[in-house]
A and B are shown apart, each in its own frame.
Chain A
C-alpha cells in the first residue's frame, strides 16, 4: 500500500463518509460495524495481524468512518486466514471474519484495487476449478497457480514426495452434477446483473 495514502489526512464530512458502502458490508456480513468500540481484542488474537498494514480493529474503524478505499487499497483483507478467532472473541458480536468476507467480495467486484494478487489468484483458480470440474484437484490448482503467479519453482521439492505418497491425483473423475454447478454460477451472475443480490 502506498505509504502516502495510509498516512493521508482524513477529511470527514457527510460527503466523504461513504455510508452506502458500509451498509453493503453490513448487509453482506450480517453485522453492525457501529457496535465496535475499538477494544483491540480482534487484533490481539489475530494470527495474521503482523502481516497486515491495517490490523483488524483498524479495518472496522475505517469502516465506521466510511473510509473503505483505505482498506481496499491495502492488502490486509487478503491476509485474513478466516480463522474466526476475532468473531469468536469479540465482546460486541462484531462478526469481523464475515466483514472481511464482505470486503473481499466488494473488492473482487471492483477488480481490486488490492495489491495482494497471489491470494486473489489462488481464490480465482479455486472457483474456476469448481465451475469446471465440480471438485478441487490440488495438483492442478497448485500447478496452474505456480505458472500464473510466475513462481515455477515454488514448492517444487514437495511435488515428487506427494506424488509418491499418492497425494496428488492426476485425473478427475466425472461428476454428474457438473451442469447443475454451472447453473448455480450462472444464476448468481444473473441475479447480480438484475440487482437481486449483492
Chain B
C-alpha cells in the first residue's frame, strides 16, 4: 500500500486567490493511498522544501505529489528535494494547478473542483510510478571531425590541444577547404593563405591529430560516447609514408591540361598533382580518370622518376574502423554554379544570365582565384576569354539567394561582404577601371562590416546600384547588363567587360547521405539542423554529434571559427567525465512479448532500436527481438504507441500510469 504525501502550494496568492487550497488538501487527504496532505505558502522556498523532506521521513512516504506550478518550472527542484530525503526522484510528480488552473480561471468553485481533479489524477499516476535508476554510459575520449576546412581544422586543434585524440577526415586530397581558395578576407583584407596555412601545418604536425585525407565516412554505428566509424581511405596511388613531396612526378607528368577544380577550372594541373602548392599533406594523388597509365596502361613516367619509389599504381581503397565518443560535423558548403543544374537542386537556373555559356561571366569564387597571388593569373584580374584586363566590371548579388520561387529563400549571408571586398581588390589592381554592383540590400551585420562596405563605395569608388539585373547578353566582346536603379526609377544599361555573380551558398552535395549515415536531421535544403536554434546551436538532436561551420547554414569565417570552438567545447564537456549520466526516460522492451516485427525500429528517429538474438543454452536461435539502446533512445515513446503487441514501454510514461490518470477522471 502506497503512502502518498500531497503538498498543495499557495504560491503566495497566485494559487490560493482562485483555488481553495485548504479544501483541496482536505479532499485529497481522503483519497485512497494518500497518507498525508497539507497546504503551504511557498513550497519551492527553502522552508517549503524542508517541510517536504521532513514529512517524507516522518510520515515514511512512498510517493510525493506537489501541486503547484508547471513541472517545467520546478519539477527538477522537487525531485532533487525528494532524492535528498532518500526517495527515488521519479517517485515525485507535480500537479500543475497554477498555469493550468488558478491563472486561467476566475470562478473559485470551478477552479477548486478542477484543482482537486488535477491532483487526483497525479495521485493515481504516482501510485504506478516505478523507481528509475540513473542510466550511465561509458565515454570513449576520442573524437571524429568530419571535414578539413577552417571549421574542422579549428575544432580538431581545440580538442587536440586539450589532450584528446582527434581523427580528422577530409574528402579532398588536401585539407584547407574553401578558405584556402580565397584571396583576401573581409573586413581586414588579411591574405587568406597567410592566416590559413599555418593552421594547416599545425594540424599536420599535431601529435594528437590523426589525419585521413582523400577519405570519406562509410558507416557510423553506436551512440554518444561509443561510436564506431568506418572510414574509406581512397587509393591515392602514392604512398604517403614514402613520398617526400619533392614534386618531380608532377613536373614530368605529360598530362598537363586538366582543369584544376581548386582554381575553379581556370587553371590547369597534371594527372598526378597536389591541388595547390601549400597542400597538407604535401603528397600528390593520381587522378585515375585522366592518367594515361590508368587509361591505357602506358606511360608510368611518375613511377620511373620517383626517387623514393612512392608511386604505387596497385594501391587499393582501404576501410578503417575507429572508435570515438563524439563527432564534430564540419562538412562546409558548396556554391551554386550557374552553368549546371544538378538534379534535385532547388534553384531553377539562370538562363537570362547565359547559363554559364558567356565566358566572361564568372562566379565569386572564380574571382577569388583570379585575385589570389598564388592563383592561375598570379593575382591579375584577367578575362577568361581573352586574358584582357576588364575596365568595366559588374558584380551582381543574390544569384539564387533570396529568390523564393526561382532559387532558395534564404540569404547566403557572405556575398554582400565578399562583393564589397571584390570591388576593393579590383580597384587596387585595376586603377583605371570602374566597378558596379547591382544589389537589393547590403547586409552587413558584423563587427566593422558596414564600415567596410561603405569604404568600398566612399573610398574605393564602387558604384552600387540598388536593383536587380534582368538579363545579360554578349555583344561583340562586351557583356550588356540590363538592370535598373530603383532609387532613380529608371533602367540602367552597362556594357561590361566582365560580370561576377555572387552565387548562393548551398549545402555540400551528398550532405543528406552523410546525415543519414550519422542519424542527424537536416532542413529542406540539406543544411544540418541544430538541436535548438538559440540555446543549443552547435549540438545535433542526436546526442554526441556536434555541428561546426557552414554545414549548418551560411556562415562567414569568424562565425565558423567561433562555432567550431564551441563544438570543441561541447566535446570537451562530454569528455570531462569517464561515464555520462542521462535522464532514465527511455524505452524498454519486454522480450517475452516481442514478436520481432520491428515496427518500433521503423519509427525510431534515433536509430536506438537494435535486433537482438535470443538463443537457448545450446546456442539455437529462438527468436530475434527488439532491443532499445538506452544510450541512444531519445525518450519520445513513439515505439510504444506503435508496438502491436505492447511489448515496449517508455519508463516514466507507461500505459499503466496513463490509464491510471484517465481512470481518475
* Min CB gap A70→B, angstroms: 8
A124 CB–B CB distance under 8 Å: no
Binary interface encoding of chain B residues 441-461 relative to chain A, with 1 for a CB under 8 A from any of its CBs, else 0 = 000000000000010011001
| B490 and A8 within 8 A (CB) | yes
The answer to whether A34 and B488 have CB atoms under 8 Å apart is no
Q: Across the interface, do B463 and A64 meet the contact criterion of CB distance under 8 Å?
A: yes
A70 to B485, CA, bound (A): 14
Q: Mark A55-85, 1 if CB is under 8 A from B, else 0.
A: 0011001101101001000000000000000
Per-residue CB contact flags for chain B residues 231-243 toward chain A (1 = under 8 Å, else 0) read 0000000000000
Q: How far is the CB of A105 from chain B (nearest CB, A)?
A: 23
Compute the total of residue contacts between A and B using a CB distance below 8 Å: 57
CA distance A17 to B487 in the complex (A): 16
A11 within 8 A of B: yes
- Whether A151 is near chain B, meaning CB under 8 Å from some CB there, is no
Q: A9 contacts B454, CB within 8 Å?
A: no
Alpha-carbon distance between A84 and B488 when the two chains are bound, in angstroms: 23
Rounded to whole Å, the gap between the CB of B432 and the closest CB of chain A is: 8
Q: Are B490 and A9 in contact (CB under 8 A)?
A: yes
Taken together as a complex, chains A and B put the C-alpha atoms of A17 and B490 apart, in Å, by 15
Q: Is the CB of A13 closer than 8 A to any CB of chain B?
A: yes
Q: Are the C-beta atoms of A34 and B490 separated by less than 8 Å?
A: no
Minimum CB–CB distance for B434 against chain A, Å: 5
Within 8 A of B (CB), among A32-65: 32, 34-35, 37-38, 57-58, 61-62, 64-65
In the complex, A10→B490 CA distance in Å?
Answer: 7
Q: Which of A8, A14, A61 is in CB contact (< 8 Å) with B487?
A: A61
- Residues 250-296 of B contacting A (Cβ, < 8 Å): none
The reply to whether B495 and A13 form a contact with Cβ atoms under 8 Å apart is yes
Task: Say if the beta carbon of A158 comes within 8 Å of chain B.
Answer: no
B494 CB–A CB distance under 8 Å:
yes
Tell whether, in the assembled complex, residue B458 and residue A57 are in contact, meaning their CB atoms are under 8 Å apart: no
- Can you name the residue of chain B whose Cβ is closest to the Cβ of A59? B488
Interface residues on B, range: 20 to 34
Q: Determine if A12 and B488 form an interchain contact, defined as CB atoms under 8 angstroms apart.
A: no
Interface residue tally for chain A (C-beta within 8 Å):
23
A7 CB-CB contact with B under 8 Å: yes
| Beta-carbon contact of B458 and A65 below 8 Å | no
A57 engages B487 (CB within 8 Å): yes
In this assembly, does B491 line the interface, its C-beta being within 8 Å of a C-beta of chain A? yes
Type the 1/0 row for B571-602, where 1 means its CB is closer than 8 Å to any CB of A.
00000000000000000000000000000000
Q: Is the CB of A38 within 8 A of B466?
A: yes
Set of chain A residues within 8 Å of B392, measured between Cβ atoms: 13-14
Inter-subunit contact B492/A9 (CB<8 Å): yes
| Across-interface contacts of A57 in B (CB, < 8 A) | 487
Which one, A9, A14, A37, A64, contacts B434 given CB within 8 A?
A14
Chain A interface, >50% SS class = mixed
Query: Measured between alpha carbons, how far is A70 from B434 in the docked complex, in Å?
Result: 22
Residues in B neighbouring A38, C-beta threshold 8 A:
466, 487
Residue in A7, A17, A65 whose Cβ sees the most chain B Cβ within 10 Å = A65
- A17 in complex: contacting residue of B457, B463, B489, B491, CB < 8 Å: B463
Whole-angstrom distance between the Cβ of B437 and the nearest chain A Cβ: 12
Interface 1/0s, chain B 491-502, versus A by CB < 8 A? Answer: 111110000000
A11 touches B488 (CB 8 A): no
Q: CA–CA, A70 to B392, complex, Å? A: 23
Q: Are A34 and B458 in contact (CB under 8 A)?
A: yes
Cα-based distance from A8 to B493 in the complex (angstroms): 11
- Which residues of chain A are within 8 angstroms of B492 by Cβ–Cβ distance? 9-12
B461 surroundings in chain A (CB, below 8 A):
34
CB neighbours of A62 from chain B (8 A): 488
Asked if B7 CB lies within 8 Å of chain A CBs, one says no
In the complex with contacts A38-B487, A61-B488, A10-B457 CB distance below 8 A: no
User: When the two chains form their complex, are residues B458 and A35 in contact, meaning their CB atoms are under 8 A apart?
Assistant: yes
* A10-38 near B? 1/0 per residue, CB < 8 Å: 11111001000000000000001011011
Residue among A17, A37, A67 with the highest chain B CB neighbour number at 10 A: A37
Which A residues touch B488, using CB under 8 A? Answer: 10, 58, 61-62, 65, 67, 70
Q: B90 an interface residue at 8 Å Cβ cutoff?
A: no
Give Cα A177 to B457, complex, Å.
49
Q: B494's contact among A8, A13, A37, by CB below 8 Å, is which?
A: A13
Residue of A nearest to B495 (CB): A13
| Contact in complex: B494, A12 (CB < 8 Å) | yes
B165 CB to closest chain A CB (Å) equals 51
Cβ-defined contact, B493 with A61, below 8 A = no
User: How far is it, in angstroms, between the C-alpha of A57 and the C-alpha of B489 when the chains are bound?
Assistant: 12
With A and B bound together, what is the CA distance between A14 and B463 in angstroms?
A: 11
Residue contact B485 to A65, C-beta cutoff 8 Å: yes
Q: B462-497, CB under 8 A of A: which get 1 and which 0?
A: 010110000000000000000001011111111100
Report the separation of the CA atoms of residues A170 and B391 in the bound assembly, to the nearest whole angstrom. 65
Q: How far is the CB of B334 from chain A (nearest CB, A)?
A: 32
Interface pair B490/A12, CB less than 8 Å apart: no
> Which residue in B391, B436, B457, B458 is a CB contact (below 8 Å) of A12?
B436
* Cα distance, A37 to B392, chains bound together (Å): 22
By beta carbon, the residue of chain B nearest A61 is: B487
Roughly how many angstroms separate A67 CA and B466 CA in the complex, as a whole number?
Answer: 16
CA distance in complex: A6, B489 (Å): 9
Give Cα A61–Cα B467 distance, bound, in whole angstroms.
Answer: 13
Q: Do B436 and A7 have beta carbons less than 8 Å apart?
A: no
| Residues on the B chain within 8 Å of A58, using CB | 487-489
Contact between B485 and A61, CB atoms less than 8 A apart: yes
Q: How far is the CB of A67 from chain B (nearest CB, A)?
A: 8
B487: A residues at CB distance < 8 A? 38, 57-58, 61
CA distance A134 to B665 in the complex (A): 100
Select from chain B the residue with minimum beta-carbon distance to A37: B454
Q: Are the CB atoms of B490 and A7 closer together than 8 Å?
A: yes
What is the bound-complex CA distance between A58 and B458, given in angstroms? 18
- B493/A12 in contact, CB under 8 A: yes
Complex-state Cα separation, A17 to B555, whole angstroms: 36
| Residue interface bits B371-413, CB-to-A below 8 A is 1, else 0 | 0000000000000000000011000000000000000000000
* B449 → A minimal CB distance (Å): 14
Given A10-B490, A35-B458, A58-B489, 13 more A-B residue pairs with CB atoms under 8 Å apart are A9-B491, A10-B488, A10-B491, A12-B493, A13-B434, A34-B458, A38-B487, A58-B488, A61-B487, A65-B463, A65-B465, A65-B488, A67-B488
Sample 9 A-B pairs with CB under 8 A, ordered by A number: A7-B490, A10-B493, A12-B465, A12-B492, A13-B392, A61-B487, A61-B488, A65-B465, A65-B485
Chain A positions within 8 Å of B, measured between CB atoms, are 6-14, 17, 32, 34-35, 37-38, 57-58, 61-62, 64-65, 67, 70
Q: Which 4 A-B pairs have the closest CB atoms?
A: A9-B491, A61-B487, A34-B458, A12-B494
Q: Which residues of B contact A (CB under 8 A)?
A: 391-392, 434, 436, 454, 457-458, 461, 463, 465-466, 485, 487-495
